Structure 1
């Protein structure tokens, strides 16, 4: 693994805890991560990955005896919020409207309903800390929002930036890939020194965002070239061309494979998992190029 993918050793307690800025604590288990804010008034807890679960409360208790006063959902996915029921009942729970609607539909007792719902922005003023939430439009999921502590220069953006690693499979299983790419770039418009990405081994930095922007640009350009450069005759030579799904599957797999063959040598020593998830990321990029961005290749010629 490249050095950039390495993170802190996880103690026997099952989690690592680090104060990344004044009163802002990062907690991670080597795969999932989140943060909490200790203000003059209490604790603002953001998300609750089930793999961390009650270790979040244990971590909070090691640094303060103040109560949890607010809870924030980054988005609705259970791998990040499936243990939100550990937090006290009756505290305000913030979420974007799309997230709140999905929580209502799912009815999961471990993901209690939001009490404070916002459409564009929301702000929590808590003594010496301010936490600003902003929804940039659909990206990894509808409702997935920026969470920014401007005074401490900390940014949280979950399932979009993967510090030291390529994005998870199929561009993080994103609901809207152009939005996923856009918010990666938008992150650089924030004033931050530390980034909490929700996944993998360590907190992030601005440099990590720049590297992911570069990876995505390379992925897009290489995959777009492959859409028209694949040898279609050779690809279809062993396919029953009367089977439409077989034709599309062979073509899209060939595009992803050609892009991956070019990309992996450039990235395997720069980002963790480039050899694992570049293939499905190229597949997802090919589909968004065809369907969202109108780079249709041989199957999309306009008559």
Structure 2
């Protein structure tokens, strides 16, 4: 986590070998009500006045660990699971939360570009445009930003207004070049997106 000009920048690094055996899965408390769960890849959950929301359930192993971590700190209902983009490695664990009766939410471009996969739950709600705000409680707005084509379809950047914190998935890859092998990646627009985020 970096602090620059009063803004917390929370970067996630998703490298090669995602499907390799998991390392020790940890729960990291970022703020009083904001947590990461994972090993070298992370889900995020946010506890608000009345509910819990999850961002990127990842695969079933990490999603199960996220659900367990949530239940260790709160009994509030899990109501929403947000998908950051259309890639399976970030959303196939959604089925773990399906029993909770959640809404699965993504940008319309992500939903329209998810390749059919029996492990992936299709978003039940979508948003469109460049920005959407979800009011989750007093001072607990979750802002969603879409910068167009970059890493994956419908790639969303999340901002927790309460903490002035940004959650970025797959767009920030320290010590690596931009992915060149993804069919839905646009390296030129990716760089433009990073400049806008900055």
Distance 2:91 2:168 in 1: 14
Query: Where does residue 244 of structure 1 map in the other structure?
Result: none
1:136 aligns with 2:147: yes
> Are 1:181 and 2:181 matched, yes or no?
no
Look at both structures and tell me which one has the larger radius of gyration over its CA atoms.
Answer: 1
User: Residue 62 of structure 1: SS of its match in structure 2?
Assistant: helix
What is the CA–CA distance in structure 1 between the aligned matches of 2:111 and 2:156, rounded to whole Å?
12
Q: 1:17 aligns with which of 27, 39, 42?
A: 27
8 Å contact from structure 2 (residues 148, 154) kept in 1: yes
TM-score, normalising length: structure 2: 0.78
Which residue of 2 is the match for residue 211 of structure 1?
none
Deviation string 1:146-194 (CA, Å, 9 cap, x unpaired) is 11112212212211113x4324653877611111111111221xxxxxx
Please name the residue that 1:80 is paired with: 90
Distance 2:161 2:119 in 1: 30
Superposition map of 1:83-94 within 5 A: 83-89=93-99, 90-94=101-105
After superposition, residues 25-40 of structure 1 pair within 5 angstroms as: 25-29=35-39, 31-40=40-49
Q: Root-mean-square deviation (CA), in Å?
A: 2.4
Segments of structure 2 that go 5 or more residues without pairing to the other structure are 1-12, 14-21
| Pairs aligned (count) | 174
Please give the TM-score of this superposition, normalised by the length of structure 1.
0.53
For 1:173 and 1:100, the matched residues in 2 are separated by 16
**What's the secondary structure of 2:102's corresponding residue?**
coil
Provide the rounded CA distance (Å) in 2 between the counterparts of 1:130 and 1:24.
13
Answer yes or no: is the 8 Å Cα contact 1:85–1:109 preserved in 2: no
Change (3 A) 1:109 1:42: farther
1 or 2, which has the higher helix percentage?
1
1:45 lines up with 2:34 in the alignment: no
Question: Which structure has more RCO (C-alpha within 8 Å, separation ≥ 6)?
Answer: 2
CA contact 2:178–2:187 (8 Å) conserved in 1: no
Which of the two has greater strand per residue?
2
- Measure, in 1, the Cα distance between the counterparts of 2:45 and 2:126: 20
* 1:282-301 to 2 correspondences below 5 Å: none
**Structure 1 residue ranges (4+ consecutive) displaced by more than 4 angstroms after TM superposition:** 171-174
Q: CA deviation at 1:13?
A: 8.8
Give a deviation string over 1:13-35, Cα, whole Å, max 9, x none. 93121221231111221x21121
In the TM superposition, residue 41 of structure 1 has moved relative to its aligned partner by 0.9
Q: CA deviation at 1:118?
A: 1.3
1:107 maps to which of 95, 98, 116: 116
Q: Distance in 2 between matches of 1:82 and 1:133?
A: 21
Alignment of 1:126-275 (within 5 A): 126-128=136-138, 129-162=140-173, 164-167=174-177, 169-170=179-180, 175-188=185-198
Q: Aligned equivalents of 1:58 and 1:150: distance in 2?
A: 26
Distance 2:133 2:65 in 1: 27
